[in-house]
Amino acid sequence: MRKLAATLAIAAGTFVLVNPSPAQALPSGCVKGIGYASTTGHATDYGYARCEKGTGHVRVMVYCTNNPASGGAANYYGPWVGVPYTSTKFCPSTRPYAISTLIVKGN
């Protein structure tokens, strides 16, 4: 009987250890966009992303260029933030124009 009780206790403990936690909802209700800021005579664009619902984290990816007509663009990433905060990334002075943004989601 003791052997059976020990086996059941181990089995119950194993179940608790391998049973996955409830699923978390990915961020949803998200918005993204491009803004414009001027500081001390220098103008630059920025990208932002925010999600209102769910759990996890979001960050913005903004595509910046030095000349919207001819290219020279690169991706820049804002910080990871928890829902419902806003991730913001300014384009660098070498590529001050934001062309587009993307929301990156994580848990």
Rounded average pLDDT over 62-74: 90
Collapse the DSSP code of 102 into the 3-class scheme (helix H, G, I; strand E, B; otherwise coil) and give the result.
strand
Exposed, middle or buried by CB within 10 Å (0-12, 13-18, 19+), for 101?
A: buried
Residues 6+ apart with CB under 8 A from 38: 44
* Better-predicted residue by pLDDT, 34 or 5: 34
- At 18-51, the pLDDT tens digits run 444 456 788 999 999 999 987 656 678 999 999 9
pLDDT band at 15 (very low <50, low <70, confident <90, very high): very low
Token representation of residue 97: 């124009």
- 96 and 74 Cβ atoms separated by less than 8 Å: no
Rounded average pLDDT over 72-94: 96
